[in-house]
Chain A
Amino acid sequence: MRRLRALEPLAWVGPAIVLIALVVLWPVVEMIRSSFLEISRLGVVRGYTGFDNYGKLFAEKDFADVMVRSVIWVVAVVALTVLVSLALAQLFNQRFPLRKLARWALIAPWAASVLMTAIIFKWMLDPEVGVINQIRVGLGLIDAMGGAAADQLGDASTAMPWLVFVAVFVSVPFTTYALLAGLATIPSDVYEAARMDGAGRLRTYWSITLPLLRPALTVAALINVMNVFNSFPIIWAMTHGQPGYSTATSTILMYILKGSDIGESAAMSVVNFGMVIVLTVIFLKVSRWNREVA
């Protein structure tokens, strides 16, 4: 009977552990194992190859470029997202009529599938009929529709900024909402005190709002780092990493490799995953989970 009682938690929590083990942990093991296997295109395992897959991966002529681009991609998107969101949180924290409705509009890119949003942007950037190009013609930025100048996604130097733009566009809503939640936790008497001391607006923001916003800011930024690092649909839908590999990040390279050599693709995944682990550890440190759990 006592034995049975000891097993009681397992009946309640067990299914959750099984599901996590099956869907989240098993793939990790399988991915690491596959990175040391030679696997045919049809999925037949031909045997262990040691570190051959990693050797092949590091020898890919685009590998270094792709890794550097991934880091720039994450840093650029997250930095811009945070800057834009800080401004927007401040704006949407003011009182004005229909504020709720305006805030609600901000939800759209967050709720909609990132893939759909990317497809729409691709359509809006269409060289012949895209709205964005219509606007650029109207502003006199380009002479006419069609032509190379209108084909923004056809060249890495113009495609990359647009990819970053779309990634920022879909990341800003969550970040702004998280910062708005952070702003709401700042008690108003702190501002009262600052005013008494004769602090100006900028000074108040710099020495009071920002420091008090830091927990919200850190977490929002880290969640963004995670999302942006794992971001796949934007680049996949808009450029497929092309031309060549010139707009590919590590997740795109991983996916392209999956079509030709699963073992090498698994090696790329492990490299990616290592980076995710590092980010997770940072997150756990910062979020001080132990206080919440205990």
Chain B
Amino acid sequence: MAVRTAPAEARPRRQHARTGRGGVARAMPRLKTVLIAATAYAVALLFLFPYVVMLLTSLRSQRSLRDVTFWPEEWVWSNLADFWSSGLAGNLWVTLKVAAGSTVLVLLVALPAAYYSARHRFRGRTAFLILVLITQMFQPTAMVVGIYREFFQFGLVDSIWALILVNGGFNLAFAVWILNAYFSSIPRELEEAAFIDGNGRFGALFRITLPLAMPGVITALIFTFIAAWNEFVVALTLTTTTENQPLPVALNSFIGQYQVDWQNLFAGSVIATIPVIILFALIERKVVGGLTAGSIK
């Protein structure tokens, strides 16, 4: 997997664009391009549509929420601010703690494992990597009953630590996998040179290898954060009191009630959704590579 573009590869791009088709077919492709672009934009809008509806609904007044109109009659931007004083803000805080906690846990555990398995051959290395790959295939949904029974016995039901552990465990595989690929792509000689220059083993690791692997670290970090942020089934199973529920669970139970402040619900979804879409856009390319690692070459 080519994970890092060496500076030497950055050739001038313009040259590439000009060596297209000959000038004869110039006029025809233009119409084709228009059609292609129009279709692509329409598809793009279709995929954004639900989130636009979500944003528009969150900006309606309580009174006009169930009006049969597409655009809100008045734009109540204060809904997004009011969310913070609603009970759901506490649930957003829980989500943030779970996501941040899982991310830290994954980095602490995955970094050394990925580094060592990329740099050293040791007994059980292959077994370890297979274990990681198999875990990547497992999802908590199918085994949620086992997870519940385990944490019930630990007395950790309704505890934030249970959610951090489970989210960390299930996202570990992706992090180890992508970090392993990054560390493997960094020439050992670079690290050895730094070592010889008197940096010590850890100095070389922290000054040379880790900075070079930063794109991988950031990808693993954002991926884990988003996955934990969005997680629903485990949180639904392991939390019992409203104030300990992460936002998705709280929002879902919100719907079942009568007399719902729907605009709070939609403000909550907007606040929970927009940031992760932007974060995800930053790492999308590397995620495809990480998820399909070992298969596409």
Contact = CB atoms under 8 A, between A and B. Distances in A.
Interface of A: 8-9, 11-13, 15-17, 19-20, 22-24, 26-32, 34, 43, 88, 91-92, 94-99, 101-117, 119-124, 128-129, 131, 134, 145, 169, 172-174, 177-178, 181-182, 185, 215-216, 218-220, 223, 226-227, 229-233, 236-237, 251, 254-255, 258, 262, 265-266, 269, 272-273, 276, 279-280, 283-284, 286-289, 291-294
A172 B276 CA distance: 18
Given A16-B172, A113-B232, A91 B39 contact: yes
A113 B149 contact: no
B133 A289 contact: yes
Contacts of B284: 107, 110, 177
B209 to A, nearest CB: 14
A116 B269 contact: yes
Contacts of A280: 134, 137-138
Interface in B124-162: 124-126, 128-135, 137-139, 141-150, 152-153
A124 B53 contact: yes
A139 to B, nearest CB: 15
B28 interface: no
Given A19-B168, A215-B295, A219-B296, 10 more contacts: A19-B105, A31-B146, A91-B36, A102-B44, A112-B230, A116-B273, A123-B54, A124-B50, A262-B145, A279-B137
Of listed A16, A273, A291, residue having the most chain B CB within 10 A? A16
Given A12-B112, A218-B295, A287-B294, A109 B47 contact: yes
A51 B173 CA distance: 34
A284 B295 CA distance: 9
Contacts of A218: 295
A122 B125 CA distance: 47
Contacts of B265: 119
Interface of B: 33, 36-37, 39-41, 43-45, 47-48, 50-51, 53-54, 57, 66-68, 70, 105, 108-110, 112-113, 115-117, 120, 122-126, 128-135, 137-139, 141-150, 152-153, 165-166, 168-170, 172-173, 176, 226, 229-230, 232-233, 237, 248, 251-252, 255, 265-266, 269, 272-273, 276-277, 279-281, 284-285, 288-289, 291-297
A178 B288 contact: yes
The secondary-structure label for the interface of chain A is helix
Contacts of B123: 9
A276 B142 contact: yes
A218 B272 CA distance: 33
A273 B142 contact: yes
B248 A115 contact: yes
A45 to B, nearest CB: 10
Contacts of B51: 108, 112, 120
Nearest to A35: B145
The secondary-structure label for the interface of chain B is helix
Nearest to B124: A9
7 A-B pairs closest in CB distance: A23-B169, A31-B146, A27-B146, A111-B280, A12-B116, A113-B230, A105-B44
Contacts of B110: 16
B169 A22 contact: yes
B296 A216 contact: yes
A27 B166 CA distance: 10
A99 B139 CA distance: 33
B135 A20 contact: yes
A263 to B, nearest CB: 9
B50 A121 contact: yes
16 contacts: A22-B169, A23-B165, A24-B169, A27-B147, A30-B146, A91-B40, A97-B33, A111-B277, A113-B230, A113-B248, A129-B66, A218-B295, A266-B146, A273-B142, A288-B295, A289-B130
Contact of B281 (A111, A116, A121): A111
A43 B152 contact: yes
Contacts of A16: 109-110, 112-113, 128, 132, 172, 176
